[in-house]
Amino acid sequence: MASLLRDLPLRGILIYVSNTFCFSLISFLVKELSEEFRVAELLLVRFSCTFLGLVVLIQFRGGFYILKTRKTLDLAIRSGAGMIAIALSFVAFSGAILADATALVFSAPLFTLLLSVPVLSERITLSKSFAVLMGFLGVMLITRPGFSEGSPALYAALGSALFFAIVTVWLRRLNKTEHPLAISFYYNFTGFLVFLLWSWSGGWSEAWRQNLEMLLLLGLLGIIQQVMLTYSFRYAEASLLAPFDYLSLPLALLFGFWFWNEFPDWISLLGSAVIVLSGMMLMVGQWKGLFSAAKFDRNLKQ
């Protein structure tokens, strides 16, 4: 089967940054709603709305023939890792300071770098490695996570980062042959069933009617975020996209200050600047590579 991947890194970056913004809004809603709902119920909202949205979208995009696949094992790995990652992230957002949880969840690029070489056979240059490590330094400057307290939510965030890295590299692998909507469909259908059973077994909150608007917004953002995440890996390498997760950190600081009176100090502001700089380094490096390749092609044609 011919590869469905297209080498359009700038498009991939723009889609991925939009996905990251949606995920930041989701993390805010999870933290706010966790006072009234169990994590399983919030996960059910996210997966059920996304699954229903995908059913409609697939129908408009030509029908369910795109769900045919020979990559059952890869889809199972992506779906399982994705469910664990998002469940752990919801636990982290609901139980820890939002900026701390966000920073640890988005340390996933470090794991992605390690996985993308053996799984995807991608080339990780020294400059990419340095930029990602620099971004992680910015993460630490912002959050300075208090591991001495032994918060279970912080450990959940680290576990989430590991499984999000697995999702990242497996999406790139699957996008070579599978339609992005098919990948999302199987993941969200499985998640819908799992978290429906989990929610059913644990009982239901009585606050659904009072929080219906926020729950629907959570579901809508889940749809948008899922589609953007899956499509972004069709256009760019996992190792290029992953560091842009760091852009969610300034948003986490802003939400924390605005809604929970968490004021960023000068060290946190410095960390934000370091993170943005690391992202710019990756973009400049990618553009140089594209310009060099284009120049080489022109020389061959002369």
pLDDT tens per residue, range 62-107: 788 889 888 899 999 999 999 999 999 999 998 877 887 887 787 7
pLDDT at 296: 40
Q: Which of 29-43, 46-60, 110-124, 186-200 has the lowest mean pLDDT?
A: 110-124
Question: pTM for the whole thing?
Answer: 0.79
Contact call for residues 242 and 112 (beta carbons, < 8 A): yes
Highest mean pLDDT among 12-26, 36-50, 173-187: 36-50
In whole angstroms, what is the distance from residue 10 CA to residue 289 CA? 12
Question: Does residue 27 sit within a domain?
Answer: yes
| Alpha-carbon separation of residue 95 from 39, 73, 92, 115, 140 (angstroms) | 10, 33, 5, 29, 19
Question: What average pLDDT does the segment 45-61 reach?
Answer: 91
Query: Residue 173, exposed/middle/buried by CB under 10 A (0-12, 13-18, 19+)?
Result: buried
Question: What average pLDDT does the segment 26-40 reach?
Answer: 93
pLDDT at 224 over 50: yes
Question: Does residue 1 sit within a domain?
Answer: no
Contact call for residues 278 and 138 (beta carbons, < 8 A): yes
Long-range contacts formed by 18-21: CB under 8 A, 24+ apart: 18/224, 18/228, 19/225, 19/228, 19/229, 19/232, 20/244, 20/245, 20/247, 20/248, 21/247, 21/248, 21/251
pLDDT at 192: 97
Q: Which of 145-149, 171-175, 201-205, 297-301 has the lowest mean pLDDT?
A: 297-301
Q: Which two structure tokens, joined as six digits, stand for 199?
A: 């929610």
In whole angstroms, what is the distance from residue 38 CA to residue 30 CA? 10
Question: Does residue 128 sit within a domain?
Answer: yes
Question: Does residue 190 sit within a domain?
Answer: yes
Question: Does residue 95 sit within a domain?
Answer: yes
The count of structural domains within the chain is: 1
Full domain range(s) for residue 57: 9-301
Q: Which of 176-185, 245-254, 283-292 has the lowest mean pLDDT?
A: 283-292
